[in-house]
Amino acid sequence: MARFTLACETFAFVLLTSLLTNNLAAHRQERDRGNSNYPPLWDDVPDSLAGFVSIRNKTVVNPWNYLERMGMYKILLSVTAKYMSNFGPSNTGNVLWGLPLQHGWQFITGRLADPSNVSSCGQKFGDSLCISTRSWWSCMNYYLATIPFLGAVEAGFFEDWPFEIKILPPEEYMDKFCYTAAGCHAQNPEMMSKWTTLFQLLKKSKEFSQIKLLPEEDDIWQHLWIAHVASIEAALPKFSDRLADISAPEAEFGVSWANAVEFIAATHFPTNFNQTNTFQAFLPPRMLSAGDKAPSIPDLSKEQNRALVALDILNKGNKLTGGWCDWLLRVWRRAMCSEDGRAQGQNLLENIVVDPDRISTGIRSLLLEYIKNRNCIIINS
Ligand SMILES: *[C@@H]1O[C@H](CO)[C@@H](O)[C@H](O)[C@H]1NC(C)=O
Ligand SMILES: *[C@@H]1O[C@H](CO)[C@@H](O)[C@H](O)[C@H]1NC(C)=O
Ligand SMILES: *[C@@H]1O[C@H](CO)[C@@H](O)[C@H](O)[C@H]1NC(C)=O
């Protein structure tokens, strides 16, 4: 490696290859396709505004209750279904599936509960549907649930609903969140407008071809990911204090997962129903505790252990060399600048956990894409 005078960007690829292959290429696993599951309690979740309480001409949504926060997602899936009918049968191709499925995973794995034991919010034998304002995951997810919902409201998706939609503030930490499109614009104009833009774009769109990815279809993915990343960037610094309440491995996993989303975003990863379920099976099925050390956490699968190692590498690399991740992200984004590059990137992300033997071939293909995309204009942030 050192014999060549490599450009620093190439070095990033080589480093990534050697780190990943040395750490992960232990066994070739047969592919473990995740089972396709709806989020927990899906049938109890309201799928229209009529399922919420309306008093004095106001429809009230409490995002600190699991069924109601999930209700915002279910409504979004439902009102956008007609724009995405060609992406797959029964709305399975809807680009928004990634969000409710992630939220369901957070709920079922206990991540939305009060980690400090100050209250029984979210505890199995307490108020089990409560979403705690003290949970890092709950607070981060607010920015990926309520904000998109308000974006759809602002884009006019509920124009025909006769009542005003009111988002209830939590009992504590009220100033950490926003409750109306106008309030969110005031607090974080860039983030809010990115979500509104996505929904305006959807509303304008008609039908998409299912045969070949049309430019406007890829455009939807791109806008979704741009908005997603903006939410995470807005929320991360606000809730870093919540990380002190969870174990060190869990806190590291959370932050590295949030950072990894930028890499996933650059591939315009199709977070539809099937793909998200498949990928989500690689995330830890319970909160990590103090003694957990991947890749040898006994009750986690090989893929789950590997995914934790891969996330840790990205995170540590960033900490050790200061900005390594930013630099790598720049390289990654350029490789992802073409449709071929994004397909290779999606493959690589999948192989990191399911088929590590193919990682180095994958990275070589990406390097070629990176070189080919020298003159490509990168639109993402
Ligand atoms: C609710 O809206 C209707 C129709 O606009 C109006 O007649 C009624 O007075 C309103 N009720 C309240 C409690 O504001
Ligand atoms: C998801 O999987 C189901 C069952 O295999 C299939 O019928 C459907 O077409 C898939 N949806 C998408 C969007 O690929
Ligand atoms: C919270 O309470 C449970 C049981 O009530 C206990 O096992 C656990 O150690 C407590 N956690 C903290 C952080 O106090």
Domain boundaries, the chain: 1-29+247-381, 32-188+207-229
State the pLDDT at residue 122.
96
Q: Which ligand 2 atom is nearest residue 93's CA? A: 13
189-204 helix and 215-235 helix, angle to the nearest 10 degrees: 160
Which pLDDT does position 70 carry in this prediction? Answer: 98
- Ligand 1: list residues with CB < 6 Å: 56-57
By three-state DSSP, how is residue 137 classified?
helix
Give exposure, 288-299, as e/b (b: 16+ Cβ within 10 Å).
Answer: beeebebbebee
Sign of CA dihedral 62, 67, 73, 77: negative
Q: What is the reported pLDDT for 217?
A: 63
Nearest protein CA to atom 6 of ligand 1, as residue: 57
Residue located nearest, by CA, to atom 3 of ligand 2? 274
Q: Residue 58 phi/psi, 5° resolution?
A: -125, 135
**Both tokens of residue 262?**
């930028």
pTM of the predicted model as reported, rounded to 2 decimal places:
0.83
pLDDT tens for the chain, 381 residues long, are 332 323 444 555 555 555 555 544 433 333 334 445 899 999 999 999 999 999 999 999 999 999 999 999 999 999 999 888 888 899 999 989 999 999 999 999 999 999 988 899 999 888 999 999 999 999 999 999 999 999 999 999 999 999 999 999 999 999 999 999 999 999 999 999 999 999 998 888 765 544 445 566 677 888 898 999 999 999 999 999 999 999 999 999 999 998 888 777 777 777 889 989 988 888 999 999 999 999 999 999 988 998 898 888 777 765 655 565 567 777 777 887 788 888 888 888 777 777 777 777 777 777 778 777 777 766 554
Of the ligands numbered here, which is closest to the C-alpha atom of 58?
1
pLDDT of residue 279: 84
Substitution candidate for ligand 2 out of 86, 90, 273 with most atoms within 8 A of CB: 273
Q: How far is the CA of 57 from the centre of ligand 1 (A)?
A: 6
Strand, coil or helix: what is 65?
strand
Nearest CA to ligand 1 atom 8: 57
Which ligand sits nearest to residue 56's alpha carbon? 1
With a 6 A CB cut-off, is 270 part of the ligand 2 pocket? no
Own/partner pairs, 25-33, CB within 8 angstroms, 24+ separation? 25/356, 25/357, 25/359, 26/295, 26/356, 27/302, 27/356, 28/355, 28/356, 28/357, 29/302, 29/303, 29/354, 29/355, 31/354, 31/355, 32/281, 32/301, 32/303, 32/354, 33/278
Smallest-distance ligand from the CA of 92: 2
CA distance 252 to 264: 18
Using CA atoms, how far residue 167 sits from 6, 42, 102, 111, in Å, is 53, 21, 21, 22
63 lines ligand 2 (CB under 6 A): no
Of all protein residues, the one whose alpha carbon is nearest to atom 13 of ligand 1 is 56
> What separation in Å is there between the alpha carbon of 275 and the centre of ligand 2?
9
Residue with token string 């949504």: 61
**Residue 278 CB–ligand 2 contact under 6 Å:** no
For ligand 2, atom 7: residue with the closest CA: 89
